[in-house]
Amino acid sequence: MTQGYPTRNFGQPTKRYCQTLDLKNDPELIRTYQIYHSESEMWPEILEGFHTIGILEMELYQLEERLFMIVETPLDFDWDTAMERLATLPRQAEWEAFVSRFQKCSPEDTSNEKWKMMTRIFHIYK
């Protein structure tokens, strides 16, 4: 994409979290994973869960079997508390077990255990 991606102004200070996760190196599994993350196939309870815990916006990017996720939250968002709550929401454990067949992880892992938090090492300020 040469035009970039639009960003949203939430009218409040936000925090950004960046995480990574690896998929199994199988083109058919990766295609199926992409389908289940499309607007028409994504489980509505999972999307609702993200909003329930306070996530404002989430984006997934992919390069081969590597995923990169950006999560935007309010400034007062507490990651650990929110992820504990997310794990208890309807269908969340079922979703994590379902998508684990595509991911390099254990079927019992929570989202917080699968996705590895990244550390920003560079930023250009304007």
pLDDT digits (tens, 9 = 90+) for 33-53: 999 999 999 999 999 999 999
Give the pLDDT confidence score for residue 54 in this predicted structure. Answer: 97
| Bridge pairing between strands 57-63 and 14-22 | unpaired
Domain with residues 14-117, CATH architecture: 2-Layer Sandwich (3.30)
Q: Phi and psi (nearest 5°) for 67?
A: -105, 150
- Length of the chain in residues, anyone? 126
Give the pLDDT confidence score for residue 113 in this predicted structure. Answer: 95
Residues 11 and 22: their CA atoms lie apart, in Å, by 33
Domain spans, the chain: 14-117
Predicted confidence (pLDDT) per residue in 59-103, tens digit: 999 999 999 999 999 999 999 999 999 999 999 999 999 999 999
Q: Whole-prediction pTM value? A: 0.91
- Above 60 in pLDDT, residue 1? no
C-beta of residue 88 within 8 angstroms of C-beta of residue 96:
no
Residues 65 and 33: their CA atoms lie apart, in Å, by 11
